[in-house]
Amino acid sequence: MSTSFEQATGIDAGAVEELLADGATAGGGVGELLRSRLAPASSAAVVAPAPSVDLPKVDATAHAAATLVAPAAAPRVAEVLRGTTLSGVALAATSGAAACPAASADSTPDLAAVLRQLNRSLRTAGPLVGADALALVAAACTAQLLLALLGLDPSPLLGRMGAVALLPLVVGYWLVGLYAEVWIHPALELRQATHVTSVALAAAALAGYWAPPLSVWCAAAWPAVVCLVPLFRCAARRLCRSRAGWGFPTLVIGSGDAADRLARLLMRSPGCGLRPVLLTDPEAMCRASIVPVMNDPPVLRSIVRARGIRHAVLAAPDVPAAKLARLFDRYGELASHLLVVCDAPPMPALWGAQRVCGLGGVEVRNGLLLAPLRVAKRVTDVCLAAVALVLGMPLLLAIAAAVKLGSKGPVLYGHRRIGRYGRKFTAWKFRTMYRGADVLLRQHLERFPAARLEWERDQKLRDDPRVTRIGRVLRRLSLDELPQVWNVLRGEMSVVGPRPIVDDEVCKYGEAFALYTVVKPGITGLWQVSGRTDVGYEMRVKLDEFYVRHWSPWLDAYVLVRTVVALVRRKGAY
């Protein structure tokens, strides 16, 4: 593919070659259209152009055709693809040289297309079903082992089926949409799986009230299922995300840079199962992207049908309701699964507390104001902090000795931070800097302008002259913040929440500062598990906004699991 073609269209020859192959096997579309309509105009074979060919700057469709055919045939291809012969009809493959109109878009799809779609769905959902089954078997075996250690025998009730007694939960997971084709957030996935597991095992325990071994078996199986199912599902996604047959080809719909950003985001997130293969811009502003771009409606319709694309993601930042409705009408017929993505959704999506009411509106319950959830968060904070303080006492003492011997100064360092409702408190950390750190910082920033820009942007320095040798190790391992468990016990901080900020950072939050003060700052949070300083301060503010607007116990659980992964990777920690 020539450079001029790539810059002008964003479509590569391989994508159109694949389209030609799809057209031949899918019972019609652009592939057979090209072959049949080009036959009268040129007998030249479909070949890749030589590097010296200067492609004319016409629309993306003509470019795609001119890339694959001899130059003499390019004008004929452009005429065919720009014409109205595709409007309202799909061209089917025939044995002769001419294509004939096929059924319209609302007709019954051919059997081959249905089988391909079913195969794709099975290959995508199958690994998740298998992962759940393995997790449930492992959880059942764990419960069996625990009962054996307690001297209880559930075999009179479960018989030899104890190892597979939990497999019916797969049906429950399917009923709540855990195998749906549209990816859901891990926090929601955890909540739904936990709800199904809790209801099923509670019912089994009540049914076996007069047979104590069954109740104990259910109690032992519950934590095993809640822990193993998410882990096995995560492992299955990691194993499958690099395979070409996993996931669903997806059409990206959006205008300008928003559509291109969304396509790149999906490319970087293969675990979601939505693989962008085509982009269309309703306003025809986007001409090139990381995936092929097609803005001509008739040709777009033909490509979507030929490739069997059933999923579409609509990037709709700040789109008025009336215009959004028109986009639904325009693209709703192309894909059976349409996901709308907004930059800042007005309603929280992870609370799981949205209900359509009788007035035609939507009820949204604020979990931060619900007393039971607030009590649950506080109890969780106290339990986790107490356990960390008791079990981590040897490590805390060892770090304290290393800090004291490494440089002069106190072991702990307290700094005034802004907490909930804007109240100030002292956040404790192991001292990681030399005495006179403020003077060292001022001198360093005066000497190095690049460091000053980095400090003004992130409020942190990658090469900080104030940090001691022991301090660099503690910061790299995120151990310097362990004393903040005392702040958690005192009720000044939470285990999960936004990072506590100082007065100089308030201006960086802008209007989001009001959201920041709604919750207690945390030891860990979305910013820490998303790359920390590597993601930039602007993204940090957005992550804090997301956390406050979408807070739920399930989001906290998700962040805690991601924290373990972040500690191992140590990305952005310095």
Domain hosting residue 120, numbered range:
112-240
Of 157, 184, 160, 159, whose CA–CA distance to 173 is shortest? 184
Least confident of 27-36, 185-194, 439-448, 545-554: 27-36
Residue 435 has pLDDT above 70, yes or no: yes
Answer whether 216's CB lies under 8 Å from 147's CB. yes
Same domain, 70 and 38: yes
Least confident of 241-250, 294-303, 323-332, 363-372: 363-372
User: How far lies 21's CA from each of 15, 37, 244, 307, 540, in Å?
Assistant: 10, 16, 16, 9, 45
Beta bridge partners of 364: 354
Same domain, 332 and 270: yes
pLDDT at res. 7 = 40
Enter the pTM of the model: 0.59
pLDDT at res. 17 = 45
Residue 449 has pLDDT above 60, yes or no: yes
Same domain, 401 and 536: yes
The dihedrals phi and psi of 354, each to the nearest 5 degrees, come to: -100, 130
Same domain, 37 and 118: no
Residues 197, 200, 204, 205: is their CA dihedral positive or negative?
positive
Is residue 131 domain-resident?
Answer: yes
Answer whether 428's CB lies under 8 Å from 487's CB. yes
> Would you call 380 helix, strand, or coil by DSSP?
helix
Is residue 332 domain-resident?
Answer: yes
pLDDT at res. 549 = 82
The β-bridge relationship of strands 248-253 and 91-92 is unpaired
Same domain, 510 and 553: yes
pLDDT at res. 399 = 93
pLDDT at res. 159 = 61
Same domain, 127 and 177: yes
Same domain, 420 and 534: yes
Burial (CB < 10 A; 0-12, 13-18, 19+), residue 249, is middle
Tokens 């592939």 belong to: 31
Q: Which of 307, 327, 345 is the last residue of a domain?
A: 345
pLDDT bucket at 131, cuts 50 / 70 / 90? very high
Residue 256 has pLDDT above 70, yes or no: yes
Same domain, 332 and 264: yes
CB neighbour list of residue 507: distance below 8 Å, 6 or more residues apart: none
pLDDT at res. 100 = 33
- For residues 84-106, average pLDDT: 31
Half-sphere exposure of 512 (CA within 13 A, CB side): 20
pLDDT at res. 533 = 64
Residue with the larger pLDDT of the pair 355 and 305:
305
Alpha-helical segments (H) within 392-483: 393-406, 437-447, 449-458, 469-476
pLDDT at res. 348 = 56
Same domain, 399 and 527: yes
Count: domains in the chain: 4
pLDDT at res. 51 = 33
Per-residue pLDDT reduced to its tens digit, 311-336:
888 877 666 666 777 777 677 777 77
Per-residue pLDDT reduced to its tens digit, 407-421:
888 999 898 999 999
Is residue 462 domain-resident?
Answer: no
Q: How far apart are the first and last CA of the chain?
A: 43
Same domain, 57 and 144: no
Torsion region of 491: left, alpha or beta (phi above 0 gives left; psi -120 to 50 gives alpha) = left
Residue 36 has pLDDT above 60, yes or no: no
Is residue 149 domain-resident?
Answer: yes
Q: Which of 240, 264, 294 is the last residue of a domain?
A: 240
Same domain, 414 and 542: yes
Is residue 551 domain-resident?
Answer: yes
Q: Which two tokens stand for residue 361?
A: 């509106």
Say how many C-beta atoms besides its own lie within 10 A of residue 20's C-beta.
18
Of 106, 101, 16, whose CA–CA distance to 63 is shortest? 16
- For residues 11-27, average pLDDT: 41
Average pLDDT, the chain: 73
The β-bridge relationship of strands 362-364 and 354-356 is antiparallel
pLDDT bucket at 572, cuts 50 / 70 / 90? low
pLDDT at res. 101 = 34
Radius of gyration of the chain (CA): 29
Q: Which of 192, 208, 240 is the last residue of a domain?
A: 240
The dihedrals phi and psi of 467, each to the nearest 5 degrees, come to: -85, 135
Least confident of 80-84, 344-348, 530-534, 545-549: 80-84
User: What CATH number is given to the structural domain containing 303?
Assistant: 3.40.50.720
Per-residue pLDDT reduced to its tens digit, 197-227:
999 999 888 876 666 677 888 888 999 999 9
Is residue 51 domain-resident?
Answer: yes
CB neighbour list of residue 473: distance below 8 Å, 6 or more residues apart: 479
Residue with the larger pLDDT of the pair 319 and 513:
513
pLDDT at res. 49 = 33
Say how many C-beta atoms besides its own lie within 10 A of residue 317's C-beta.
15
Is residue 487 domain-resident?
Answer: yes
Same domain, 194 and 267: no
Is residue 565 domain-resident?
Answer: yes
Torsion region of 243: left, alpha or beta (phi above 0 gives left; psi -120 to 50 gives alpha) = beta
pLDDT at res. 115 = 77
